[in-house]
Amino acid sequence: MKSDMTKKTDLSARIAKSISDAILAGDLLADDRLPSEAELAEEFAVSRSTVREALKRLAAQSLIRTERGAFGGAFVRQLSYDDARRQNITMSTLLLTMNEIRFDVACEARFALERACLPLSAARCGPEDLARLRREIARQDRPDLSDEAFCASDVAFHRAVVDSADNPILSYQLSGAVEAMQPLMNMITYTARSRARIVALHTDLADALERRDAAAADAILTTLQTYTLQLGEGLLAHRAQIRAERSAS
């Protein structure tokens, strides 16, 4: 294999990996109880502190949960979509903020992914999905909305589009891509005119989905992508400036 792991890494990391492998391989099923910390310490021939550090690593990955008291302990956790989604979002966000991603690259990925679920959304979106879309559109139309709130509603709108495809795996994968864009989108200042344009496009998109017209929805999404790209054009220069400032310090 690629990594030996036998002597260089932490004991706690090795123990955590050993347990997480067992979970991944299915040797430990959801809600199975792990041995107590004392037993694990004996089993791996390490101190209890080291075992605890390993368990904290697993807890940080939502692989286990712990309960106190007699008959408590560490239990294999059934990973929920929501947990996975949350972790995916933080990781995607980090990836985008720490790797000086170009706005156009991020934009391209995000719209490509959203486009992937448009046919399904058009085929399956129900009345509640449409209501959710319209609700966000109505919110975006309020003129007293802050830029940040407008942006949040934009994200909520697109998440609703994704969710209306009614495929939890798609929702999980795409929410990362959509929400991670928010910090970047937040840097944009939205004029009244650009807001009106976006609201109009959102309305068109909702209409197309209601008509179950996937082709039209696709075309509208393309327009939205072009427009977003245009709005974000200033960001590249802005980022370059920040980078220049930082390297000067």
Partner DNA sequence: ACGAAAACAATTGCCAGACAATTAAATGCC
Partner DNA sequence: GGCATTTAATTGTCTGGCAATTGTTTTCGT
In the complex, the residues that contact DNA under the rule CB under 7 A are 10-12, 34, 36-38, 45-50, 52-53, 55, 66-74
Asked if 143 and 183 touch (Cβ cutoff 8 Å), the reply is no
Q: What is the Cα–Cα distance from 42 to 249, expressed in whole angstroms?
A: 52
- Residue 17 CB, nearest distance to DNA (Å)? 13
**Binding partner of residue 186 among a copy of itself, DNA, none, CB cut-off 5 to 8 Å per kind:** none
Residue among 2 and 68 whose Cβ is closer to DNA: 68
- Residue 238 CB, nearest distance to a copy of itself (Å)? 15
Task: Label the pairing between strands 64-67 and 73-76.
Answer: antiparallel
Residue/partner pairs of 144-150 with CB below 8 Å, 24 or more apart: 147/186, 147/188, 147/189, 147/190, 148/186, 150/190, 150/195
Asked if 214 and 118 touch (Cβ cutoff 8 Å), the reply is yes
**Binding partner of residue 46 among a copy of itself, DNA, none, CB cut-off 5 to 8 Å per kind:** DNA
Q: What is the Cα–Cα distance from 151 to 182, expressed in whole angstroms?
A: 7
**Binding partner of residue 100 among a copy of itself, DNA, none, CB cut-off 5 to 8 Å per kind:** none
100 Cβ neighbours under 8 A, 6+ residues apart: 239, 243
- Residue 77 CB, nearest distance to DNA (Å)? 13
Query: Which residue type sits at 51?
Result: V
Q: Number of C-alpha atoms within 13 angstroms, CB side, residue 174?
A: 26
Residue among 36 and 167 whose Cβ is closer to a copy of itself: 167
Asked if 218 and 118 touch (Cβ cutoff 8 Å), the reply is yes
**Binding partner of residue 47 among DNA, a copy of itself, none, CB cut-off 5 to 8 Å per kind:** DNA
Q: What angle in degrees, to the nearest 10, is found between the helix axes of 147-163 and 103-116? A: 30
**Binding partner of residue 81 among a copy of itself, DNA, none, CB cut-off 5 to 8 Å per kind:** a copy of itself
Would you tell me which residues interact with a copy of itself (CB under 8 A)?
12-13, 16, 20, 23-24, 26, 30, 49, 52-54, 56-61, 63, 78-81, 84, 87-88, 90-99, 101, 105-106, 108-110, 112-113, 115-117, 119-120, 165, 167-170, 172-174, 176-177
- Residue 136 CB, nearest distance to a copy of itself (Å)? 19
- Residue 128 CB, nearest distance to a copy of itself (Å)? 20
